C-alpha cells in the first residue's frame, strides 16, 4: 500500500470511461515486483533498474545519470513521474537507460499542456484569466450539477 493517489490525468480518464460506458475501471496497483524501498546505490549505471520507492528527485546520482542519458535534457517534472508510473502500473521496472529513452520520447510527443494542468493549459490556449480559481470553480459546479442529474441527486450548489 502507498499513500499516493492516481494522478489527475488517470482519474479524469477513469471518469470519462465511466461516463461513456458505465463501467468502473480497476484501481492502479503496482505489483510487488516493481516496489523497492532500498536506497539507490551511490554509483548508478544505466543498467540499474528504477523501482517504485526509489525515484528520488533530490538524489544527485540519479539526476546526473538521467541527464547524462538524455544529453542534459532530463527534467524532474510531471512527465518524469507519469513515465515512471506508467512503467510500474504495467508491472515493469525499467533500466535507467529504458526510462531515459521513454522520457525523451514522451517529451518530444508532448507538444501542449495536459488539460488537467489547468494553469498551463489556460495559458497555452491564451485564455485571459483574471480569476482562474473562480473560473475553475464555476466549471466544477456545472459538472457537479450534470453528475447529480445523472445520479438523481440535487446539487447543493
Torsions phi, psi of 95, nearest 5? Answer: -70, 160
pLDDT of residue 6: 58
Report the pLDDT value the prediction gives residue 55, as an integer from 0 to 100. Answer: 92
Q: What angle do CA 54, 84, 16 make, to 5 degrees?
A: 135
Contact 104, 70 (CB under 8 A): yes
Residue 36 sits at the vertex; the CA angle it makes with 73 and 66, to the nearest 5 degrees, is 10
- In a structure prediction context, what are the per-residue pLDDT tens digits for the chain, which is 157 residues long? 445 555 566 667 777 777 788 887 777 777 899 999 999 998 999 999 999 999 999 999 999 999 999 999 999 988 898 899 899 989 999 999 999 999 999 999 876 665 555 554 455 455 555 666 677 777 778 777 877 777 666 545 4
Q: The pTM is what?
A: 0.63
Q: Which cell numbers in the block locate residue 121? A: 493549459
What per-residue confidence (pLDDT) applies to 15? 75
pLDDT for 93 equals 97
Residues in Cβ contact with 28 at an 8 Å cutoff, skipping those fewer than 6 apart: 6, 10, 85, 89
Amino acid at each position: 500500500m502507498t499513500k499516493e493517489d492516481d494522478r489527475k490525468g488517470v482519474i479524469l480518464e477513469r471518469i470519462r470511461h465511466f461516463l461513456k460506458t458505465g463501467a468502473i475501471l480497476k484501481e492502479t496497483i503496482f505489483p510487488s515486483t516493481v516496489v523497492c524501498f532500498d536506497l539507490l546505490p551511490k554509483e548508478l549505471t544505466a543498467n540499474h533498474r528504477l523501482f517504485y520507492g526509489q525515484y528520488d528527485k533530490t538524489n544527485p546520482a540519479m539526476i546526473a545519470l538521467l541527464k547524462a542519458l538524455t544529453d542534459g535534457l532530463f527534467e524532474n517534472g510531471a512527465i518524469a513521474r507519469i513515465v515512471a508510473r506508467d512503467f510500474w502500473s504495467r508491472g515493469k521496472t525499467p533500466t535507467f537507460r529504458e526510462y531515459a529513452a521513454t522520457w525523451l520520447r514522451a517529451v518530444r510527443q508532448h507538444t501542449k499542456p495536459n488539460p488537467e494542468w489547468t494553469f498551463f493549459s489556460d495559458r497555452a490556449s491564451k485564455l485571459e484569466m483574471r480569476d482562474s480559481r473562480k473560473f475553475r470553480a464555476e466549471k466544477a459546479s456545472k459538472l457537479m450539477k450534470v453528475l447529480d442529474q445523472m445520479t438523481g441527486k440535487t446539487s447543493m450548489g
